[in-house]
């Protein structure tokens, strides 16, 4: 009996020590942060627009951060796999990640997920990547009017690839088709890398992408932009018409933002925000982002939170009309 009591006492002591250690970790002084590497989850494949932008910004932020940022690509299910891992992580500042809007809010509205927008705390937005309608440079459609006319004459025949069912590019393509009064076949892939590969391999007729994802392919005369989903003409492609000037009132693009799991200490959020904002405004980041066709657009945590809510409202209003 005495041995049992002694053993029980030892176990209780170990439990108490474990709890104390756990509490100590939770209460790490802000002065000690960061005391170990910070994982940065990117919910898409390496080489896509989100990944490229993330790596450019992280490389600049690393110059003024005491511990390594470690980019972890977690692709799959239109971003859901990466978003889930990010937002279910311990809210201690050692796991943060990049989200794409509107995909981040469209997925939970489309199906049951293990995350919701309230699980994310905004750090900063760094890019707004405009949408474009793209075909092969040697395709038979030389302009937007020819593409629309062909689609009207041949309903459901033309194929447009996207980055996943209900994801950002799918919504943009479907909204364009709705406004143009055409019926096309939407072909989903697991991300922008695969959807663009499908176009380059002649497996689809067109794709709706972000300018950062296809800009260099356009400059190299492999792809052609038929129209942009922007209010004004693209700075680097001034000859490309907008959908709006052709009578189709569709504005679409992808905001790329950094978030942390809700519950992350505000002091940590502020430190990360200040680190990334300084990196965003650095001349090296500006130059590298321009070369990668990434249009920079800063949003503060408050502005980003409001934008996330606005995007959710947009999805709730437009998607039911699109039948996706």
Could you state, in order of their start, the residue ranges of all structural domains in the chain?
Answer: 36-128+253-322, 130-246
Question: Residue 192: its pLDDT value, please?
Answer: 86
Lowest mean pLDDT among 66-75, 100-109, 223-232: 100-109
- Average pLDDT, stretch 223-232? 96
Contacts of 289 (CB under 8 A, 6+ apart): 53, 56, 127, 295, 296
Question: Residue 27: its pLDDT value, please?
Answer: 58
Confidence of residue 19 (pLDDT cuts 50, 70, 90): very low
How far does CA 138 lie from the centroid of its chain?
30
C-alpha–C-alpha distance, residues 132 and 173, integer Å? 9
Question: Residue 4: its pLDDT value, please?
Answer: 44
- Average pLDDT, stretch 124-141? 96
Nearest to 38 by CA among 272, 250, 303, 296: 272
Confidence of residue 166 (pLDDT cuts 50, 70, 90): confident
Q: What is the mean pLDDT of the chain?
A: 90
pLDDT of 18 above 70:
no
pLDDT of 98 above 90:
yes
CB 141 within 8 A of CB 223: no
- Average pLDDT, stretch 44-49? 86
In this chain, the answer to whether the domains covering 36-128+253-322 and 130-246 adopt an identical fold is: yes
- Average pLDDT, stretch 104-131? 95
pLDDT of 26 above 70:
no
C-alpha–C-alpha distance, residues 180 and 155, integer Å? 12
C-alpha–C-alpha distance, residues 33 and 135, integer Å? 48
**Burial readout 169-180 (b: 16 or more C-beta within 10 A, e: otherwise):** bbbbbbbbbbeb
- Average pLDDT, stretch 8-30? 49
Question: Residue 78: its pLDDT value, please?
Answer: 84
Q: What's the chain's length in residues? A: 324
Confidence of residue 5 (pLDDT cuts 50, 70, 90): very low
> Which string of DSSP letters, residue by residue, matches 188-213?
E-SSHHHHHHHHHTTSSSEEEEEHHH
Question: Residue 21: its pLDDT value, please?
Answer: 44
C-alpha–C-alpha distance, residues 173 and 154, integer Å? 17
C-alpha–C-alpha distance, residues 308 and 216, integer Å? 29
Instruction: Match 């709706």 to its residue by tokens.
Output: 208
Question: Residue 110: its pLDDT value, please?
Answer: 87
Question: Residue 2: its pLDDT value, please?
Answer: 45
Confidence of residue 288 (pLDDT cuts 50, 70, 90): very high
User: Does the domain spanning 130-246 belong to CATH 3.40.50.720?
Assistant: no
How many of the other CB atoms lie within 10 Å of CB of 66?
A: 9
Is residue 117 helix, strand or coil? Answer: helix
Range 36-128+253-322: architecture per CATH: 3-Layer(aba) Sandwich (3.40)
Comparing 157 with 50, which gets the higher pLDDT? 157
Question: Residue 31: its pLDDT value, please?
Answer: 78
Confidence of residue 15 (pLDDT cuts 50, 70, 90): very low
- Average pLDDT, stretch 246-255? 93
């Amino acid at each position: 009996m005495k041995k049992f009591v002694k053993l029980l006492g030892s176990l209780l002591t170990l439990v108490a020590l474990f709890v104390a250690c756990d509490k100590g970790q939770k209460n790490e002084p802000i002065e000690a942060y960061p005391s170990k590497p910070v994982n940065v989850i990117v919910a898409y494949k390496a080489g896509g627009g989100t990944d490229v932008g993330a790596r450019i910004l992280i490389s600049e932020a690393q110059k003024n951060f005491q511990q390594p940022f470690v980019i972890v690509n977690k692709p799959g299910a239109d971003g859901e796999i990466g978003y889930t891992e990010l937002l279910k992580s311990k809210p201690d500042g050692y796991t943060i990640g990049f989200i794409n809007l509107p995909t981040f809010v469209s997925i939970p509205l489309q199906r049951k997920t293990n995350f919701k927008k309230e699980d994310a705390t905004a750090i900063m937005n760094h890019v707004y990547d405009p949408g474009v309608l793209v075909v092969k440079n040697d395709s038979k459609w030389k302009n937007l009017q020819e593409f629309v006319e062909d689609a009207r004459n041949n309903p459901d025949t033309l194929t447009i690839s996207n980055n996943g069912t209900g994801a950002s590019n799918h919504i943009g393509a479907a909204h364009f088709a709705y406004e143009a009064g055409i019926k096309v076949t939407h072909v989903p892939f697991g991300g922008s890398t695969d959807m663009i590969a499908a176009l380059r391999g002649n497996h689809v007729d067109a794709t709706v992408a972000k300018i950062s994802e296809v800009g260099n392919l356009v400059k190299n005369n492999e792809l052609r932009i038929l129209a942009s989903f922007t209010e004004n003409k693209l700075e680097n492609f001034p000859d490309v018409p907008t959908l709006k000037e052709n009578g189709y009132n569709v504005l679409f693009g992808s905001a790329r933002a950094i978030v942390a799991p809700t519950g992350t200490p505000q002091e940590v959020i502020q430190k990360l925000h200040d680190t990334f904002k300084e990196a965003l405004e650095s001349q090296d980041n500006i130059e590298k982002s321009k070369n990668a066709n990434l249009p920079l657009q800063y949003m503060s945590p408050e502005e980003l939170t409001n934008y996330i809510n606005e995007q959710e409202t947009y999805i709730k209003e437009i998607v039911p009309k699109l039948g996706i």
